[in-house]
Amino acid sequence: MAILRTLGLVLAAALALPLVGRAQGVLVAPHAVVIDHRTRSGSLSLYNPGDQPSEVSISTFFGYPVTDSAGEFDLRTVERPEASMPSAVGWVEAFPKRMVLQPKERQTVRLLARPPAGLRDGEYWARLVVTARAGSVPVTGVDDSSGITVGLNLEVRTVLPLQYRKGPVATSVRASSLKADVKGDSLAVRLSLVRQGTAAFIGTVRGALADSTGRTVAAFSSPVAVYYEVEPRFAAALPGGRLPQGRYRLRVEVTTEREDLPPETLLAARPVRDSLELNLP
C-alpha cells in the first residue's frame, strides 16, 4: 500500500516541452504555390522562429477542399487519385525534403516538377505538407526519486495548396441555391459554388444585407477556394444581435480578388452575383 501510495504521486503525464516560452515550429512562405510549366520550378521559404532546432520535412499528397453538411470547409484527401483527377503528386518534388533548421535560420526549398511527357494543358494540384517537430522531449512535474519519466512529442504541420499550370488556363464559378436565415445573432448564408473552366477558382465571397431604405445593416467577406463543388456557410453579425422586422435584400458577389495572395498568381474571372429578398416577421 505504501509502495502504491508512493507510485501514485509520480505518474506525470505531460506534453513535456519543459522550457517555458520555447516555441517549436516553422514559418512557411508563401502560403500558396503556383508553378508555371515554362519554368517547372518554384520555391518555399522556411524559417525557424524558435530558439531550438526544428526538424522539418516536406511531403505531398492529393487533396482538395470540400464542405460538409454544415457548410464547413474540410480537405478531402485522395490516396490514389484517379486518372481523371488533375494530380501533380508524384512529379513535383521538394529539395531538400528533410532538414534541421537552427534557431532563426532560413532555408529555401526548391520545388521541381518533372511532368509526364505529353501532359495536357491545364492546372494540376497537389498539397504540400511541411512538418516540423521538436524531437524527443524531457520532463516536467516529476518526482525524480520515482524513476518515472514522461514525454510527449509535439508536431506541427502546415498544409498548403500547390497549383501547376500548363498552357492557357481559365476559371470561373457558377453560383446557385443562395439561402439566408437569421440564426441567433447572425445572418447565416449558404451558397452553392461549382467551378467552371480548367483551373481552381480562388477568390472571395462578399455579401451585404440592406434594409428597405438601401442601407447596409450586415456584411461579410470570406476567401474561398472552389476546386470542384462546395456549399460554404457564411455568417454576418447582426447589429445589436437582431434585425427589426421588415424587408431586406441580400446581395452576394463572388470575385477572384484575394488580399492575401500575390495578384500575379490569381486567375481573373468575371464576378458572379446573386441576391435574394428576406422578409422578417
Partner 1 sequence: MRTTTVLSAIVAAGLTVGAATVEAQTSANIQATAQVLSALTVTAGKDLEFGNVTPGVNKTIAITDAGAGRFDVNKATGSDVALSFTLPANLTSGANNLPIGTWSGGWNTAATPAGATGFDPATGPTTTGSTASGTLTVYVGATVNPGAGQAAGAYTGTITMSAVYF
Partner 2 sequence: MRFQLLVMLSALAAVPPAAAQLAVTPVRDLEFGSVIVGVPSSVAPSHPTRSGQFRITAPRNTKVQVRLTLPGELAGPAGAQLPIGFASSDAIAVGDWPGSTPESFNPQATRNLQFAGGTIYNLFLGGTVTPAGNQRQGNYAATITLTITNF
Among 75, 100, 237, 276, the residue binding partner 1 under the rule CB under 8 A is 75
Q: Does 23 bind partner 2 (CB under 8 A)?
A: no
Longest dimension (CA), the chain: 79
Q: Are strands 122-133 and 54-67 parallel, antiparallel or unpaired?
A: antiparallel
Q: How far from 115 is each of 9, 41, 127, 139, 174, CA to CA, in Å?
A: 59, 11, 16, 47, 30
CA atoms 234, 240, 241, 243: torsion sign: negative
Q: Does 160 bind partner 2 (CB under 8 A)?
A: no
**Alpha carbons 51 and 219: distance in angstroms, whole number:** 42
Q: What binding mask, one character per residue, do residues 99-138 give for partner 1 by CB under 8 A, x or -?
A: ------------------------------x--x-x--x-
169 binds, among partner 1, partner 2, none (CB under 5 to 8 A by kind): none
Amino acid at 186: S
28 binds partner 1 (CB under 8 A): yes
- Whole-angstrom CA distances from 262 to 29, 30, 42, 144, 271 are 12, 9, 14, 54, 19
CB of 45 to partner 2, least distance (A): 6
Residue 68 interaction partner, one of partner 1, partner 2, none, beta carbon < 5-8 Å per kind: partner 1
**Identity of the residue, 140 or 196, whose beta carbon is nearer to partner 1 in the bound complex:** 140
CA distance 138 to 157: 22
Query: Cis peptide leading into 30, omega within 30 of 0?
Result: yes
271 binds, among partner 1, partner 2, none (CB under 5 to 8 A by kind): none
Assign residue 142 a region (left: φ > 0; alpha: ψ between -120 and 50; beta: otherwise).
Answer: beta
**Which CB, 19 or 280, lies closer to partner 1?**
19
Nearer to partner 1, 137 or 243 (CB): 137
- Provide the binding-site residues for partner 1, judged by CB under 8 A: 4, 7-18, 20, 23-32, 45, 47, 49-50, 65, 68, 72-75, 129, 132, 134, 137, 140-143, 146-161, 221-225, 258-261
